[in-house]
Structure formats: C-alpha cells, structure tokens
Copies of this chain bind each other. A is one copy, B any other.
Amino acid sequence: MTPSPAPDTPPRPQRADARRNGERLLTTARDAFAEYGTDAPLEEIARRAGVGIGTLYRHFPTRQALLQAVLHDRLEALHSEAVLLLDNPAPADALLGWLRSVALHATRYRGLAAALLLGVRDEDSPLSPSCGAVLTAGAELLQRAQRAGQIRPDVTAADLYTLANSVAWAAEETSTSRSESGPLAARLLTLTMEGLRTH
C-alpha cells in the first residue's frame, strides 16, 4: 500500500503537457481510424500527433482503450437516442429505426463492427461499459416493442445488436469505398429486420 499524503485530497491533476498530448492523440487517432480502419498503425498515430510511441502507450495502454476514447461520444449518442425513442408512439418502428443508427454507426471505420461486437463479449474490454450501455438501452426499446406484440418474443437484444453489427461488417467487407457501405448496410438490415415483426 502506498500511503497517500492526504486521504481525501484528490491526486494532483494531470500536467498541462500531458493533457495537451492526450487531446492531440485523440483527434489524430480519429483521423487515422477513418483513413486506415481500426487497425491503423499506432506508431503512425504517434508520429502524426508529434509525440513518441511511448507517450501514446502511456495515455492509451491498448488499441481498444484508444478506440474507446475515440468512440465515447458517439456511443453515448446512440444510448440517448434509444432513451428518447422510448417515447415514440410506434414501438417497432422506433426499434428498427434505432437499429439502423447502430448499424450505420458501425460502418464508420473499417473494423469497427468487430470491435463493437468484442465490446459486449469481453467484459474486460475498455469498450465494454459503453457497449453494455448501448445494449441495455436497446433492450428496453425491444421489450416495449415485444410487449406491444409487434416484435417476435423469442428475439433478444443481443441478437439484434449482433445482427446490426454483422450487417455493418458485411457491408464494409463487400464495398470498395466507405461511402457505398452505408447504403448497403441499410439495405441488408431491412431484409434482415423484415423477419422480426410478428404477423
């Protein structure tokens, strides 16, 4: 146990240069992921941000941690979108529209769908909390639609999350450019989702 100098004094705040470097890494990483996909070379990101590779690893110990920081806001947005849609008068439409957002988001970077799927499977992943929150929000949306009798009762939120991401993955693997993959994902998702409604 390292004795703290004062138990309730918060640890000294981050040094100014450290905060600056962290921010530059973040914005640089965002660009690099967009350009190379989620397996963009980390050394390239450090170089572009004008810091050493050691600095990158100190701020973000794993690629997943960096990705989590880059995605944080977007995942939060998906979460609150789901919460808002709980008030939508058409439960099934609300659910399916939200799933479209999820799938579209997952086509943003090449490799992202895989990372998002890992985020729910592996509880130790830095993405796990954010992905878990998204999944939970989706579950409420689903439950409401199922209670209304509009969606098959045997589908789980995990199924839907998985399907949305897998469709996004397929779109990104199939399309040459990233601009094509969005529409393709939407099209495949529509086909997939048709089977979920009750008849």
Interface residues of A (CB under 8 A from B): 114, 117-118, 121, 155, 159, 162-163, 165-167, 169-170, 173-174, 176, 187-188, 191-196, 199
Quick one: given A169-B166, A174-B121, are A195 and B199 in contact (CB under 8 Å)?
Answer: no
Give every chain B residue within 8 A of A118 (Cβ-Cβ): 173
- A selection of 21 A-B contacts at a CB cut-off of 8 Å is A114-B173, A117-B170, A117-B174, A121-B173, A121-B174, A155-B191, A159-B187, A159-B188, A159-B191, A162-B170, A163-B170, A163-B191, A165-B170, A169-B170, A191-B195, A191-B196, A192-B192, A194-B195, A195-B195, A195-B196, A199-B199
A interface, by DSSP: helix, strand, loop or mixed? helix
Q: Name the CB-closest residue of B to A164.
A: B170
- Within the assembled complex, what's the spacing in Å between the Cα atoms of A157 and B195? 18
Give every chain B residue within 8 A of A188 (Cβ-Cβ): 159, 162-163, 166
Give every chain B residue within 8 A of A114 (Cβ-Cβ): 173
Chain B nearest CB: distance from A97 CB in Å? 16
The 4 closest A-B pairs by CB, nearest first: A195-B195, A194-B195, A166-B170, A166-B166
A193 in complex: contacting residue of B167, B187, B195, CB < 8 Å: B195
Q: Name the CB-closest residue of B to A117.
A: B173
Give every chain B residue within 8 A of A193 (Cβ-Cβ): 195
Chain B nearest CB: distance from A40 CB in Å? 18
- Within the assembled complex, what's the spacing in Å between the Cα atoms of A187 and B162? 12
Q: Name the CB-closest residue of B to A187.
A: B159
